[in-house]
Amino acid sequence: MTEIVAMPPGIVASQAERRDQPVWRMLLARPTFVTGAVMLLFWIACAIFGTAIAPHNPLAQQLLATNHPPSAAHWFGTDQLGRDVFSRVIVGARSILIIAPLATVLGTVLGTALGLALGYLGGIVDLLASRLVEAVLALPAIVVIFLFVVALGVSTITQILVIGFIFTPLIARTVRSAVQVEGQLDYVPAARLLGERPGRMMFVEILPNVIPTVLVEFTVRLGYAIFAVATLAFLGFGVQLSTPNWGTDINANYVLLGAGYWWETLFPALAIASLIIAINLVADSTEQVLAG
Amino acid sequence: MSATAASAVPDPAAEPQAAVQVEHLDVSYRVRGHDRLALRDVSFTIGRNESYGLVGESGSGKSTAALALTRYLPRNGRVSAGSILIAGRDPLAMDAAELRQLRARSVSMVYQEPGKALNPGIRVGRQVAEVYELAGLGRAEAMERSAAMLSKVQISDPGQVMKRYPHQLSGGMAQRAVIAMALAAEPSLLILDEPTTALDATVEAEVLDLVAGLRDEFDTSLLFISHNLAVIAKMCDRVGVLYAGELIEEGPARQVFDQPRHPYTMGLLRCIPRQGQRKDHGRLDAIPGFLPPPGQTQAGCIFAPRCPIAEQRCRDAAPPAFDVGPGRSSRCYLHAATADLPRNTPVDVQLPSLAEAARPIVSIRNLSKTFTAHGEAVQALARVDLDIERGETLGLVGESGSGKTTLARTLLGLIPPDDSSIIELDGEPLGADLRQRRRSQLKALQIVFQNPDSALNRRHTVRRLISRPLTKLAGLTGSALAERLTDLVRSVRMETRHLPLRPRQLSGGLKQRVAIARAFGGGPRLVVCDEPTSALDVSVQAAILNLLADLQAKEQVTYLFISHDLGLVRYLADRIAVLYLGRVMELGPAERVFSGPHHPYTEALLSAVPSLDGLRTDRIRLTGEIPSAASPPTGCVFHTRCPRRLASGICESTEPPLAEVEPGHLMSCHIPIDQLTNLQSNKRMP
């Protein structure tokens, strides 16, 4: 009993086939997803086990071995205080991988709820709120985040809250339009005819159908969040944890680029880039699989 | 022609050559590393100036055949065996330039959706002219020829139409423009793939007439693809019946439809209510089971699992094509026994016992609905008065835009009607909005939508979909719930093993059964059926109609049955209301409305429907499009298209009231009933 739809024949067959497979198997069949996932898992492992993996103590200063270029002993060289850059890059994954995902989760949860409400209820509230969302979108996100963090003081919680709130309208807008598409389908009036209340309509009937959109939005936003956290750190508003921080390291060392000490800036920068690329690879392939 | 006969250039003066010759064609689609056969050993020939029909249900491979002919198969499709010759030339052996020439000059295609065949960003005139420019004409001359071509497809003001963009044309008009483009190249073969499926019946009739006329004029061969047997019967000289990728029967169209020689063709024909068949005459004979999934291979005859007379040999080896008469073939060992094919479905009918002279269950008074679009008020319903009697089936017919769906949605409370409107259930006024309605009122009114893919939440299981109304509306829990759930699943002829499945794991027919079960779960008193079978295949449709009839008898419900298919409405409905531009044109017992005298609009609707039961001689046709509901015509809203408009001018000036012309039969027409009877009496109605 495969589904038979009135569509060009090739599409029928491939659709039926596509739907026979669980999502994770389709994801694993994509080289882009596997590449991204492996890179991402590497950084997650670094964030969790960083100090155990790192060959040196990232905080240990060797004042006799400052600004050493990459070598067998120090793969990524040492910085101006003689600390091992490789170890600092490994351990530096932690702070960014705490703040960015939590902020994105916050933004996704709030944004999804807001988007559901606006998309389903519609009317004047939707009209006003949507204008407000557009106004927020018109502001450059990173500047807004920067201003709030400066105003509220640098802390992990502030960064999570500020980035989360900034993402909320962005995610709400995407979810809202997905909800509006769902609202055109007949299962919505069918459920209303059973006397379902708006809360149930939104969270039980419609939400499961927009989850693919939410997932894609989450992965895309996660990349932006990492970029935002790293930028804040680079600008000197990074969270002062006891662990190293990529953005802070770049900030501390880029002035030495002119002196030829490129490794001190390049490797933390590459770390940020590879993490964002990893997330984008995962995001792209997830979107392609879920959108079919 | 001399020894150069093998040269690639076909010469029309040469001895008659088949326009299309397909031999033992296999087409397969490569899906996830597996080749799946979409067409198996298909052979047919289309003679010059012949009209050949391919008929079949979804997944039968009809479109694949058309795509293969012009090498338009998607990238994963290929011709894996057999040969194709178009006017003696093999498209499979052509290089890119030759193929382009073939598509530009010799073969044209017209698809189902005219809106998708036209480029939305280019004016219609330029798109048609492009065909001439490709043939080497100058720009001015091309435009001139385009205008002439558009008037040939009966576009009355080609100059105006050419300046418009595709979205500014109605569906019928756009399809004419597409046909004009297709014929501009004067192709030797015109392929029409469901060209009228997306159009209204009256527009369909016009387009079909147009194609039939142009075919003679242009000396073109036709390959006409449709799921609609009646359309094929009307348009084609010969017909091939496809089932799951196999051409199971072939022959002259009239003979195939009058004396089918394959159990599948016979079954299909029996699925359709014909010759005025009604539900009280007996149930439709549905074909059991489902179409096999695309690409399925099995030993033996592909139809054997659903065939009532299949024998062991049918399951062991696929039957060859038997010669069953001049120009006819059938892939059935038992082709001789087809005429006496036993019924799949018992005839016995239960009819609901109509409560005599009770007051109507639903009473609609002065129902209007005005939408606002782009600052313009569009009246979708205008002062509709309608009673729905207890236990009856009221059929609601009309073209798209006539207000059928709006009527149903205001009744259900999904959209609020205008303020002065009154809808009563059992004499009690219903709230305009669902939230103002009591639970018992919610329970009473339910709907079965047209498309179950859209109507069922695809993330919910069948169990959840069906049990929700039981808990929410009927208030059942625990063992009572489980019992009623099982009962309900059985009554829509499903099994409890379907309960954990999600909609996408079900066939179209099963999905619609789930939707029906949900509608009946709360114990409704009136169920709106909004085109409940039009998204389904013909062989599945009959089973759903039988189910609806059985459920009505068992549950004593009233139906408001909306359909554009007059045959279905006639089969199922006790009374019929005909809507036009949001107004009731005619209301009466089904037999009276069909047999006449009827409203000129009803007459036009009826005569537009192609019939399997021989051609009617006399037809009245509607010209022009439905006027916009934003600015309806003055007087009788139908006067702009009415073929029987009175000369006195009263039709243009005064709107006729909906008056009783005979007991129980109401009409909104200025023409006196006796005169209508005279005008219409010399015609044989379906």
Chain A residues lying within 8 Å of B518, measured CB to CB: 190
Element (H, E) at B558: strand B558-562
| Rounded-to-integer distance, Cα A206 and Cα B653, Å | 50
pLDDT on residue B9: 43
Closest approach of A141 to chain B, Cα-based (Å): 35
* Secondary structure (DSSP) of B231-292: HHHHH-SEEEEEETTEEEEEEEHHHHHHS--SHHHHHHHHHS--TT--GGG----PPPS-PP
Q: Which residue in chain B is spatially nearest to A8 when comparing CA positions?
A: B63
- Here the tokens at position B72 are 């338009």
Which of B288, B235, B308, B211 has its CA nearest to residue B55? B235
HSE toward the beta carbon, residue B577, CA cutoff 13 A: 26
Pair B211, B41: CB distance under 8 Å: no
Chain A CB within 8 Å of residue B67 CB: yes
Q: Which residue in chain A is spatially nearest to B436 when comparing CA positions?
A: A195
**Domain edges within chain B:** 15-254, 259-340, 453-558, 596-681
Q: Is residue A10 pLDDT above 70, yes or no?
A: no
| Rounded-to-integer distance, Cα B596 and Cα B499, Å | 47
User: Would you call A16 and B294 a contact, using CB atoms and an 8 Å cutoff?
Assistant: yes
C-alpha dihedral over A172, A174, A179, A182, to 10 degrees?
A: -170
Task: Please classify residue B240 by burial: count the beta carbons closer than 10 Å to its beta carbon, then call 0-12 exposed, 13-18 middle and 19+ buried.
Answer: buried
Q: Is residue A240 pLDDT above 80, yes or no?
A: no
Interface of B with A in 308-327 (CB under 8 A): none
pLDDT on residue B160: 87
Chain B CB within 8 Å of residue A196 CB: yes
Q: Classify the phi-psi angles of B67: left when phi > 0, otherwise alpha if psi is within -120 to 50, otherwise beta.
A: alpha
pLDDT on residue A105: 97
Chain A CB within 8 Å of residue B434 CB: yes
Domains B15-254 and B453-558 share a fold: yes
pLDDT on residue B350: 63
Chain B CB within 8 Å of residue A270 CB: no
- Here the tokens at position A121 are 């209820």
pLDDT on residue B116: 83
**CATH of span A27-56+74-291:** 1.10.3720.10
User: Would you call B58 and A189 a contact, using CB atoms and an 8 Å cutoff?
Assistant: no
pLDDT on residue B421: 92
pLDDT on residue B682: 60
pLDDT in tens, A24-62: 888 888 899 999 999 999 999 998 998 888 888 888 888
Q: Name the CATH code of domain B453-558 (choices 3.40.50.2000, 3.40.50.360, 1.10.3720.10, 3.40.50.300).
A: 3.40.50.300
Distances (CA, A) of A38 to A31, A33, A215, A245, A279: 10, 8, 19, 22, 10
What mean pLDDT is predicted for residues A127-156?
Answer: 85
Compare CB distances from A10 to B74, B469, B518 and report the shortest one's residue: B74
Task: Please classify residue A128 by burial: count the beta carbons closer than 10 Å to its beta carbon, then call 0-12 exposed, 13-18 middle and 19+ buried.
Answer: exposed
Pair B328, B252: CB distance under 8 Å: yes
**CATH of span B15-254:** 3.40.50.300
Q: Is the peptide bond before B597 cis (omega within 30 degrees of 0)?
A: yes
Chain B residues lying within 8 Å of A11, measured CB to CB: 74
Q: Is residue A13 pLDDT above 50, yes or no?
A: no
Pair B572, B664: CB distance under 8 Å: no
Q: Is residue A161 pLDDT above 80, yes or no?
A: yes
Compare CB distances from B507 to A3, A11, A12 and report the shortest one's residue: A3
Closest approach of B142 to chain A, Cα-based (Å): 33
pLDDT on residue B14: 44
Segments of chain B with pLDDT less than 70: 1-16, 348-357, 614-619, 624, 682-686
**Domain edges within chain A:** 27-56+74-291
Compare CB distances from A10 to B32, B76, B446 and report the shortest one's residue: B76
Per the listing, tokens 């295949």 go with: B537
* Secondary structure (DSSP) of A145-201: HHHHHHHH-S-HHHHHHHHHHHHHHHHHHHHHHHHHHHHTSTHHHHHHHTT--HHHI
Interface of B with A in 568-587 (CB under 8 A): none
Helices B201-218 and B171-184, axial angle in degrees (round to 10): 10
Distances (CA, A) of A218 to A28, A160, A275: 19, 15, 15
Which of B524, B514, B280 has its CA nearest to residue B388? B524
Chain B residues lying within 8 Å of A186, measured CB to CB: 449-451, 454-455
Specify the DSSP class assigned to residue A78.
Answer: B
Closest approach of B39 to chain A, Cα-based (Å): 10
Interface of B with A in 254-313 (CB under 8 A): 290-291, 293-295
| Rounded-to-integer distance, Cα A7 and Cα B63, Å | 9
pLDDT on residue A269: 92
Specify the DSSP class assigned to residue B631.
Answer: S
User: Would you call A13 and B295 a contact, using CB atoms and an 8 Å cutoff?
Assistant: yes
| Rounded-to-integer distance, Cα A49 and Cα A66, Å | 26
Chain B residues lying within 8 Å of A16, measured CB to CB: 293-294
Percent helix, strand, coil in chain A, to 5, is: 75, 0, 25
B633: amino acid identity, one letter? P
| Rounded-to-integer distance, Cα B500 and Cα B464, Å | 9
| Strand extents, DSSP E, B284-442 | 322-325, 328-330, 362-373, 376-388, 393-397, 422-425, 428-429
Interface of B with A in 480-539 (CB under 8 A): 504-508, 510, 515, 518, 522, 535, 537
Determine how many CB atoms are found less than 10 A away from the CB of residue A113. Answer: 17
Per DSSP, the three-state class of B209 is: helix
pTM for the complete prediction? 0.83
Distances (CA, A) of B638 to B12, B376, B577, B582: 48, 21, 16, 11
Greatest Cα pair distance in chain A: 78
Q: Which residue in chain B is spatially nearest to A183 when comparing CA positions?
A: B454
Chain B residues lying within 8 Å of A194, measured CB to CB: 442, 468-469, 472-473, 522
